[in-house]
Structure 1
Amino acid sequence: MKMSFRWFGKGYDHITLEQIRQIPGMEVVVTSLLDIPVGEVWPLERLKALREEVESYGLKLEVIESVNVHEDIKLGLETRDSYIEKYIKTMKNLSQIGVKVICYNFMPAFDWLRTELEYQLEDGSRTMAYRHDFVSKIDPENFAEQFMEQSKDSELPGWEPERLKEISRTIERYKEMTEDKYWKNIKYFLDSIIPSAEECDIKMAIHPDDPPWPVFGLPRVITGRENIRKFLDLNKSRYNGITVCTGSLGANRQNDIPAIIREFGKEGRIHFAHIRNLKFTSDRDFYESAHLSKCGSLDMFEIVKAFYDVGFDGYMRPDHGRMIWGETGRPGYGLYDRALGAVYLQGLWEAIDKMTNEYKLK
């Protein structure tokens, strides 16, 4: 297992590489070029400069999150081939700087969804939360405006201002989209890019839908064990894999996350892991808690043990954290709580490793 940390880049993140490298056990930075419009090629010279910047702090740049998929590809429009061609060019450029994994998603219109970005917990920390009834009743355009106000000028991945401005029109374009057609569009994309992924030695790791159920009438397909199997069967290459996000999959109480890890991990189809905890307040309402098991509703020990048991040697990162100790910044992406999460996850891994090896010696 290689511990990694999400960094949005200089000028987009209040956290510095100097701070990240001081987190014990940190090896890899997961980053992106946020200023490149969706669908455009990521320039090789920019990527080389980014790699040099990361490596100057003794860290590695081996995971990119995200090379976003253009909406025309998801919609299956005639223009999709030109955007797929640009996507492949970006993949080839990333391979030249040593990138091994691309985490992406195929969620329509927008990515993850929360109703509150600064939900206050009893200890005074602030976190992101989700209330399903609120989402069910609100108009998406009004929600987009409220979301931008809550973000306080912080550009959130999947909720970029240019996307939010077009949210109503984008959702309207999906009005006639069936789930079956959406699956066909996913397969078309996979069959187009996976040969290049194999050639470039870059593993593609799709992120689960967050939350894992339909929102605003839009299709959601990467939601649990059955659909993950269906997705992986669309293209059986080992380079077609998944990102296991415990918070996204864990939002559905029916998902057995350790079982999902064991099934797909044994097949070598898990290329990346986002580990975080959440606390249910009802069947579909939750807030994002500290990583520690007793702080939330997920068993972090069993989750990490499942990764260990399948011999996971890929990349893992602490996912969304709370804002603690007076820190301000991009919601979910503070330094302190995620650093605590990284150390906690490594502590679990070390304990499991030592217990396992001691048992073998007896």
Structure 2
Amino acid sequence: MRMTMRWFGEGNDHVPLHHIKQIPGVEGIVWSLHDIPAGEEWPLDRILEVKNQAESHGLHIEVVESVNVHEDIKLGLPSRDYYINNYIKTIEKLAEAGVKVICYNFMPVFDWTRTNLYKEMADGSTALFLEKDKIRDIDPNQLVQTIAKDSSYTMPGWEPERLEQLTTLFEKYKEVTEEDLWSNLQYFLEKVITAAKENDIKMGIHPDDPPWSVFGLPRIMTNKKSLQRLLNLVDDPYNGLTLCSGSLGADPYNDIPEMIHEFSDRIHYAHVRNVKTYENGDFIETSHRTKDGSIDIYKVMEAYYDTEFNGYIRPDHGRHIWGEQCRPGYGLYDRGLGIMYLWGIWDTLERNFTRQVSS
């Protein structure tokens, strides 16, 4: 496996590159141009600027997370061809810079959703938390008004500059079914995968987080069946997955190791994190350690080892520990601990395999 760590860029991330470089086994950063609105073509000079920053610390930029998909593409509007064309131009420029994988998602309006960004845990650390009933029947328009009054609510999709658009977007999605969303995703992939293949960049879709509908919006990347359907839409090795154990693991019925074995040849990028799920559907993100959550992280890593995974991987959201002031879920300390836990499992698996062969 090829260990990476997400980095939000100079001036936008409190974690400097020279600190990331000090984490054993990390070879690259997972990055994006977060200030470029979805649908706009990325400038080559900006891409090369990040490449130079990373390489000056001995790190690569081979994974981008994310090149966001414009809402008009998800809605299937006539303007989608313009935005898909911009997406293809961005793919071509990323290829010039040596990018190998693009992570993206097809979640309407929002990226991941939580109800508490700093839920206190028993040990005094805080973590991302979702209280399922709190958003089950909430009025989206009332939600927009609430968020507008609280600028500290900084989840993806809730940025202040987007709030004025949210009410309009909710209205547009009222008539969009899950089958409509599938159809629009297929249209997007049929155009984009050809360009990705020509530029030797693999596309890895991220599952919905959480893996069920929120605010009445359709969500389609939620389980093993939907992942298989995605791969069948355009049956090409360049159409693949970003398999996230935390997103899918929020649903206790999802068997993550089974998915890894099933889709091993189409997993281009992996997120590994643990969550503790509750009977009422709530969940909180924990340390990566298996005993702290509901996902058997050892079994997850064993599945990657058994399938000879040589793709990119990173620790996903971490807790906020030791008083660190950081972007929700993206502190240095707990993600660094997570990396070493994953390496510890991997080293053990390698040693056990060597012993079995030698005996």
Indicate whether the TM-score tops 0.5.
yes
1:157 deviates by 3.5
Contact kept, 8 Å, 1:151 with 1:331, in 2: the verdict is no
SS, match of residue 10 in structure 2: coil
2:4 alignment partner in structure 1: 4
Contact kept, 8 Å, 2:144 with 2:167, in 1: the verdict is no
SS, match of residue 327 in structure 2: coil
- Output the CA distance in 1 between the equivalents of 2:322 and 2:255: 33
- Output the CA distance in 1 between the equivalents of 2:94 and 2:159: 22
Flag the 1:187–1:118 CA change in 2: closer, same or farther, 3 A.
Answer: same
2:296 alignment partner in structure 1: 299
Cα deviation, 1:248-306, whole Å, max 9, x if unaligned, reads: 000111101000000000xx100000110011132410100010001111101000000
Structure 1 consecutive aligned stretches of length 4 or more whose deviation exceeds 4 Å: 144-151
- Output the CA distance in 2 between the equivalents of 1:353 and 1:116: 39
1:141 deviates by 3.6
2:325 alignment partner in structure 1: 328
Per mean C-alpha deviation after superposition, the further-off stretch among 139-148 and 49-58 is: 139-148
- Output the CA distance in 2 between the equivalents of 1:219 and 1:126: 30
2:232 alignment partner in structure 1: 233
- Output the CA distance in 1 between the equivalents of 2:351 and 2:312: 20
Count of paired positions: 359
Residue 27 of structure 1 pairs with residue 27 of structure 2: yes
Contact kept, 8 Å, 2:151 with 2:160, in 1: the verdict is no
Aligned pairs for 1:338-357 within 5 A = 338-357=335-354
Contact kept, 8 Å, 2:4 with 2:27, in 1: the verdict is yes
* Equivalent residue letter for 1:99: V
* Equivalent residue letter for 1:197: A
TM-score by length of 2: 0.97
Which 5+ residue runs of structure 2 have no aligned equivalent? none
- Output the CA distance in 1 between the equivalents of 2:148 and 2:285: 20
- Output the CA distance in 1 between the equivalents of 2:41 and 2:286: 37
Flag the 1:98–1:218 CA change in 2: closer, same or farther, 3 A.
Answer: same
Contact kept, 8 Å, 1:105 with 1:208, in 2: the verdict is yes
Contact kept, 8 Å, 1:319 with 1:338, in 2: the verdict is yes
Q: % of aligned pairs identical?
A: 52
Flag the 1:353–1:224 CA change in 2: closer, same or farther, 3 A.
Answer: same
- Output the CA distance in 2 between the equivalents of 1:191 and 1:330: 35
- Output the CA distance in 1 between the equivalents of 2:148 and 2:337: 28
- Output the CA distance in 2 between the equivalents of 1:207 and 1:159: 19
1:38 alignment partner in structure 2: 38
- Output the CA distance in 1 between the equivalents of 2:327 and 2:148: 12
- Output the CA distance in 1 between the equivalents of 2:344 and 2:227: 29
1:194 alignment partner in structure 2: 193
- Output the CA distance in 2 between the equivalents of 1:125 and 1:255: 27
2:311 alignment partner in structure 1: 314
2:272 alignment partner in structure 1: 275
SS, match of residue 166 in structure 1: helix
TM-score by length of 1: 0.96
Contact kept, 8 Å, 1:105 with 1:207, in 2: the verdict is yes
SS, match of residue 297 in structure 1: coil
Contact kept, 8 Å, 1:205 with 1:240, in 2: the verdict is yes
Flag the 1:225–1:151 CA change in 2: closer, same or farther, 3 A.
Answer: farther
1:360 deviates by 1.7
1:175 alignment partner in structure 2: 174
Flag the 1:50–1:237 CA change in 2: closer, same or farther, 3 A.
Answer: same
1:171 deviates by 1.3
Residue 112 of structure 1 pairs with residue 112 of structure 2: yes
1:93 alignment partner in structure 2: 93
Per mean C-alpha deviation after superposition, the further-off stretch among 38-47 and 166-175 is: 166-175
1:217 deviates by 1.4
Contact kept, 8 Å, 2:113 with 2:155, in 1: the verdict is no
2:74 alignment partner in structure 1: 74
1:263 alignment partner in structure 2: 262
- Output the CA distance in 1 between the equivalents of 2:83 and 2:327: 29
- Output the CA distance in 2 between the equivalents of 1:23 and 1:91: 30
Which 5+ residue runs of structure 1 have no aligned equivalent? none
* Equivalent residue letter for 1:213: W
- Output the CA distance in 2 between the equivalents of 1:216 and 1:282: 21
Cα deviation, 1:74-94, whole Å, max 9, x if unaligned, reads: 000000000000000000000
Cα deviation, 1:296-337, whole Å, max 9, x if unaligned, reads: 111010000001111110000000001000001210011100
Contact kept, 8 Å, 2:137 with 2:215, in 1: the verdict is no
* Equivalent residue letter for 1:74: K
Contact kept, 8 Å, 1:224 with 1:249, in 2: the verdict is yes
SS, match of residue 261 in structure 1: helix
Flag the 1:141–1:333 CA change in 2: closer, same or farther, 3 A.
Answer: farther
2:164 alignment partner in structure 1: 165
Cα deviation, 1:132-152, whole Å, max 9, x if unaligned, reads: 100013222443455577773
